[in-house]
Structure 1
């Protein structure tokens, strides 16, 4: 006989509640009350007493982030989800929420609704589940992403939204008792600017007809850093919900609460909260905390344990502060870090102050200016940057001139009119010595400093004493009548040496001649010129002027 199959035992948390075993994706949950079937999607989080999965209708083809619902699942023997389901059944009716919004003239309310509930069995284990609308990121995740610091306007906008939800819950005869960023979720699609309060596992029904009596068995219930003084005594109250909200807002503004280092000792945390609330104004040392939050804490101190809060007064405190910031309760929520306020803004140096730079130090040091100076050589080329990095003598960091900003140095030193200290910079004094033209090599004419006429006479291309200029019309024929009178464009000196005139008798072909007269034709014949090597010219033979000075003899 086969052995008995053991059931998969869920993991047990330290608080005594069992955590559910993972449920495979794609498993179908049947709702016998609403006659619906839900298909489990990927897990989207783990709560204090169970796991939360994305879900959709079994007939739909949802994938990834298209799952429009969230299913919270816990082992059947756990108690918190049972409390939450009963709270939703009594207080999450759509009609009741709509009536409250209409009476308060609200366009949205952060009170979630539910779509189904029941029990489900998987691998021999019975679970209890609750189907709700799916939401986006929680405020705590946004808070940590922003470096644990929200802008004050965002903090008071969140405070106003939570006040509306608390007023609705209190009007139904319940307190939440566990407000925190992890239980505040952003809406999706059209409700992106609305935060919803979830997780009613610690929601407690008010004992309106009974006096305030501490219960040691329920002492310190909730999340210890935000638990109210009444909840530390074991009796959650409406004023306790406001106190918890105030602690959250204080943490969003300052980054941490005064008692966060003692969370393992609930009684120590309780005594620290008592001392804090006795004198809130002196306990809050952070200057970034607005007066509106201090007055909110002071109002909570005036309340009696069973007193119904004055929500209008609290709203007015928050709304008045938002007006000073140019915001309203319906402004877009911005979850960016809080801008740190500096005690005094350092003024940037003015244009006149930046331009006043001492051009040269008296000791003639070899240090350069922080900014580039406009210095050019005589031939128009800018000198290369040399030397060490700039060294500022006056250590005034507030008026330090940025590196990228260019400073124009003026020759005249203007008297300072500004009260700001001038920037004293050591500048390297650049001396430019005239550079003489180097001597030419053998058989090489220095054409760098020659005039156009000299270049013509002493060209390195032909090693001869004469050179034909390209602007001379060599096609012009020099005749007998042109010996004394020359054309303007002709070059007589070239033709005298380089060419000779020969008289050659040319016999015409035998033709029928009209006469026996002989004709003398003059031809221009090129004369062979033997190149004569001459010694190379020295640079001293050329009357060259370099940089306004003649070369040494």
Structure 2
């Protein structure tokens, strides 16, 4: 008898929320409120508290791969989706959104609508779900694909679109409190591909009307820590806090990072850094990056003038952003460009150069660098003084061209190169006979002695096979080489040697070697005057 199959327990997040167990594709969900049936498709992604699946209307005949909706599913015990469902029920009505767009003369608004909600049981687990329109890529993915750098015009276009959504949410008596690139999604429909939608209202908070600013320590540091506003760090999200969060996102899109990104594990440290940053926002932004436009600095300065419960001046904020777009030749309805503002990194064989003209002005260009083969020098540009700038990713590396110039390059000669191979013979070392009396054993003096040698010939054969060298003249008789000129203990022996490796030919070569022989009797040595040259660089006795 087969044993019972244990059900997979849902995973639990660090905050105590459960993650739902996977739901199989093709599962049918009945919506009693809207009287519809939804068929679940492949998973789209995993959120902070649940999983998101593609879906379609099961009652309509659709293609198997056509899923125009998205269903967000969480275990029934979780709270964020319950908050989000209630927010959608109160604020995502199509008629309300249309009225707001008409009053603000907007052609589109990044406020999503919902199409269903309810509860569903699967494999013994109870889930809560929310059906909404399916969207495209999120802004954070586009940001990372662009190398964490957006065009400034794109940043202010996104800022304008988010200002519109925030104004609508605030007019309904709510704050979002979790504005970030991962919660901004591009539209998929043809008429909405240039519109970004703000989603994930799990932390949306209803404003307390008529009450003073009263922070709650239990709710301190809620939200995504790098963007959390100063008010939310204290425990009470506000409308000015939503604008501050938007400003932090725009600053990151422009510069690639925020000043406190290395301290995200310490919320109180991040809170303190934000307080310091906002006290003198102009100076701190300029110190952080020189690429931040004046419009964003003024936006932060306006936020500093607001009171905690004050309603933002949206017209003033829009004008700041729109005026900047005019300087860039753009409008709020221009096509969003998610390419990087940075120039392409130089390819191999090219070096980025900042050159100074004669008038002191600087220009930046990417030019090929040619290295001379003889001396490794880099050719200089006429009229410019090049200064090589190291790339960021090669900060701790030696540039390839620098390595080449450091190599020793041999001077080229007009004479042809000749490869000479000498075979060495190992010999057992023996003690050199003692020097005779009245004999001065002086060091090598070849340069002087050759000058006075009476029988020097230009054609000489030199063998380096022995520790003692012998220089042979034109005469055919052999000369004895000795450790001492008065001791005849060495002879010349001719040996035929076949080289182990092929050099120029396969022929055997005759090599003259100095071989030590055993001497039984001492013979009178020849006079040094009889030799054709000086032997072993030693001078005769005086």
The equivalences for 1:181-330 within 5 A come to 181-190=181-190, 191-284=192-285, 285=287, 286-330=289-333
Contact 1:56 1:62 in 2 (8 A): no
In structure 1, how many angstroms separate the alpha carbons of the residues matched to 2:383 and 2:139?
40
| Distance change in 2, residues 1:199/1:388 (3 Å) | same
Aligned residues: 369
Structure 2 CA distance for aligned equivalents of residues 105 and 393 of structure 1: 61
Residues 1:121 and 2:121 aligned together: yes
Q: Match for residue 138 of structure 1?
A: 138
Q: Secondary structure at the match of 1:11?
A: coil
Distance 1:225 1:136 in 2: 24
Q: Distance in 2 between matches of 1:28 and 1:175?
A: 34
Q: Report the aligned-residue RMSD.
A: 3.0
SS for the counterpart of 2:259 is coil
How far apart are the structure 2 equivalents of 1:306 and 1:340? 43
| 1:20-59 paired onto structure 2 within 5 Å | 20-58=20-58, 59=60
CA distance in 2, matches of 1:269, 1:47: 24
**Distance 1:387-1:188 versus aligned 2 partners, 3 A rule:** closer
Q: CA deviation at 1:395?
A: 7.1
Contact 2:143-2:338 at 8 Å conserved across structures: yes
Kindly state the Cα deviation for residue 62 of structure 1 after the two structures are TM-superposed. Answer: 3.0
* Pair 296,33 (structure 1): closer, same or farther in 2 beyond 3 Å: same
Q: Deviations over 1:63-113 (max 9, x none)?
A: 33x210000000001000000000000000000000000000000000000
Matches within 5 A, 1:154-165: 154-165=154-165
Equivalent residue for 1:531? none
Which structure 1 residue ranges, 5 or more long, are not aligned?
Answer: 350-369, 372-385, 401-553
Q: 1:209: how far off?
A: 1.4
**Is contact 1:178-1:223 (8 Å) kept?**
yes
Aligned-partner SS, 2:312? coil
- Inter-partner Cα distance in structure 2 for 1:198 and 1:387: 61
Kept in 1: contact 2:357–2:383 (CA 8 A): no
Deviation of 1:10 (Å): 1.2
User: 1:336 is matched with which residue?
Assistant: 339
Whichever of the two has the greater Rg, that structure is: 1
Q: Could you say which residue in structure 1 is the equivalent of 2:457?
A: none
Contact 1:149 1:253 in 2 (8 A): yes
TM-score normalised to structure 2 length: 0.64
Scaled by the length of structure 1, the TM-score of the pair is 0.63
Distance 1:287 1:122, change over 3 A: same
Contact 1:31 1:118 in 2 (8 A): yes
Distance (Å, rounded) in 2 between the aligned partners of 1:187 and 1:305? 33
Distance 2:94 2:379 in 1: 73
